[in-house]
Amino acid sequence: MKPYLEKITRGEDLTITEMEQATRLMFDASTDPAAVGGFLIGLKHKKEAVSELTGLVNVIREQAVLLPEDLPKAMDNCGTGGDGSMSFNISTTSAFVVAGAGITVSKHGNRSISSKTGSADVLEALGVDINLSPDQTYALLKLNDIAFLFAQNVHPKMKQVTGIRRALGIPTIFNLIGPLTNPVELTTQLVGIYRRDLLMEMGATLHQLGRKRAVVINGPDYMDEAALHGETHGVLVESGELLPFTISPEDVGLSYAEASEIRGGDALENADILRRVLEGEPGPHRDTVLLNAALAIFADGTAQTVKEGVALAKQSIDEGHALKKLETMIAFSKKQKEVAK
């Protein structure tokens, strides 16, 4: 690790190839954990570069547990977490709305990081099996246009650095790249990040990783989601161009609501919120989901504007398509468990 430590200490960015080599060393059990910790702190102090984000993601994805290759065009709307907002599971709820709008969603996620309940936790509470095999996940994705990929299962190599990250006790580059490591080859993507200073870098990284179109957002109070209590800052990535924008709920026909109105709870409470939104209950939870689903639909290119995306998201909920995606996922999980008995 020494040459890479020395380079970033000088304030120089690593190339993609250098970051790939450094990452393989981080995942090598023989590498000194102190060197890995120093490297991660050095990257944070310097500020993570596009080449470093890209190199890290390349190695994580090449070592992931892969699904069969002949999948349909797919997107993801996973955020980084880390914003400390304690909101309900916005992106997970939105994923069903996006799928209900006719877009295939490979939903990558994990257990809770900065909130009480992560996507894996809330889906478990709803009766979804988060430990499907790659073949089962593939079958569900083909059947339902949405499946969940549990990060701990698809990235076993990440365990090598878990203890080091825990010992450091501060966010590192690994806290930024979760949404980028989906093992499915994504065509489009919505990424929420908790660091507004990295919007452009994240957009450029998505382009490097081959996304044809993507949107990166950072919400009010530096949330990794769009919200109703202020402006959301974003970057549209299209054909290699990075186009910054800001959007408020009023711009797309939604009403202001305080951040406190979308706070979540434990897995059971958040599962209840998710289901009530998909069943059509009005209020700030629904409107927050409409905004985030609309941004994902816009990121996919199915909607030409975010306002058009809101209309498609409303249709997905009101016509029962989003709820049907959830019910199919639950039914599929139950069937797999019965077969395994």
Query: Does 104 lie in the same domain as 10?
Result: no
Asked if 204 contacts 236 with a C-beta cutoff of 8 angstroms, the reply is no
Measured between its terminal Cα atoms, the distance across the chain in Å is: 48
336 located within any domain? no
CATH number at residue 262: 3.40.1030.10
Do 128 and 8 share a domain, yes or no?
no
339 lies in a domain? no
Domain contains 69 = no
Token digits for 266? 């434990």
Q: Which domain holds residue 92?
A: 74-329
Task: Flag whether 149 is in a domain.
Answer: yes
DSSP state of 108: E
Average pLDDT over residues 105-123: 83
Do residues 291 and 319 share a domain?
yes
Task: Indicate the SS3 state at residue 71.
Answer: coil
Residue 291 has pLDDT above 60, yes or no: yes
- Asked if 55 and 188 sit in the same domain, the reply is no
Tell me what pLDDT residue 305 has. Answer: 98
DSSP state of 249: G
User: Are residues 82 and 20 located together in one domain of the fold?
Assistant: no
Residue 50, token pair as written in the block: 């596009």
Residue 316 assigned to a binding site: no
Asked whether the beta carbons of 227 and 202 are under 8 A apart, the reply is: no
Residue 341 pLDDT exceeds 90: no
**Whole-number Cα distances in Å, 144 to 55, 68, 90, 148:** 32, 16, 20, 11
Whether residue 338 lies inside any domain: the answer is no
Q: How far apart are CA 247 and CA 250, in angstroms?
A: 8
φ, ψ (nearest 5 deg) of residue 149 = -110, 110
26 & 140 share domain? no
Q: Is the residue at 68 inside a domain? A: no
Q: Kindly report the CATH number assigned to the domain that includes residue 38.
A: 1.20.970.10
| Amino acid type, 211 | R
Q: What angle do CA 2, 3, 8 make, to 5 degrees?
A: 100
Q: Is 224 annotated as a binding residue?
A: yes
The SS3 of residue 218 is strand
Identify the H or E element spanning 221: none
Examine the domain organization and report whether 82 and 131 are in the same domain.
yes
Is 255 known to sit in a ligand binding site? Answer: no
Last residue of a domain, one of 22, 44, 63: 63
Q: Is 121 flagged in the annotation as binding?
A: no
Domain C-terminal end among 63, 98, 117: 63
Q: Does residue 38 sit in the same domain as residue 173?
A: no
55 is in an annotated binding site: no
Is residue 308 marked as binding? no
Cα separation of 49 and 230, whole Å?
A: 28
State yes or no: 108 annotated in a binding site.
Answer: yes
90 marked as binding residue: yes
- In the structure, what pLDDT confidence band is assigned to residue 116 with cuts at 50, 70 and 90? low
110 is an annotated ligand-binding site residue: yes
Q: State the pLDDT at residue 113.
A: 58
Return the exposure string of 166-193: e unless at least 16 CB atoms fall within 10 Å of the residue's CB, then b. eebeebbbbbbbbbbbbbbbbbbbbbbb
Residue pLDDT, tens place only, 44-85: 999 999 999 999 999 999 999 878 777 778 999 989 987 788
Among candidate residues 322, 337, 274, the one with its CA nearest the CA of residue 144: 322
**Which of 63, 93, 117 is the endpoint of a domain?**
63
Q: What pLDDT sits at residue 160?
A: 87
Report d(CA 5, CA 162) in Å as an integer: 20
pLDDT average, residue stretch 20-36 = 96
Residues 6+ apart with CB under 8 A from 176: 48, 53, 80, 193, 195, 198, 202
Check the annotation: does 79 bind a ligand: yes
Residue 23 lies in a domain: yes
Residue pointed to by tokens 């989906």: 182
Q: Is the residue at 335 inside a domain?
A: no
Token pair, residue 107, equals 């939903």
C-alpha 86/C-alpha 298 separation (Å) is: 26
What's the pLDDT score for residue 70?
77
131 annotated as ligand-binding: no
CA distance 55 to 20: 5
Residue 94 sits in the same domain as residue 15: no
Task: Tell me the pLDDT tens digit for each residue of 194-237.
Answer: 999 999 999 999 999 999 999 999 999 999 999 999 999 999 99
Of all residues in the chain, the percent with pLDDT exceeding 90 is 87
Among the ranges given (83-87, 145-149, 242-246), the one the predictor scored with the smallest mean pLDDT: 83-87
CA dist., res. 187 & res. 64, Å (int): 18
Q: Is 94 annotated as a binding residue?
A: no
pLDDT of residue 87 exceeding 80: yes
pLDDT, the chain, mean: 94
169 assigned ligand-binding residue: no
**246 belongs to an annotated ligand binding site:** no
Tell whether residue 119 is among the known ligand binding residues. Answer: yes
89 is in an annotated binding site: yes
* Residue that the structure tokens 């499907």 belong to: 132
Inform me whether the pLDDT recorded for 307 exceeds 90: yes
- Residue 233 DSSP SS3: strand
81 is in an annotated binding site: no
pLDDT greater than 80 at residue 260: yes
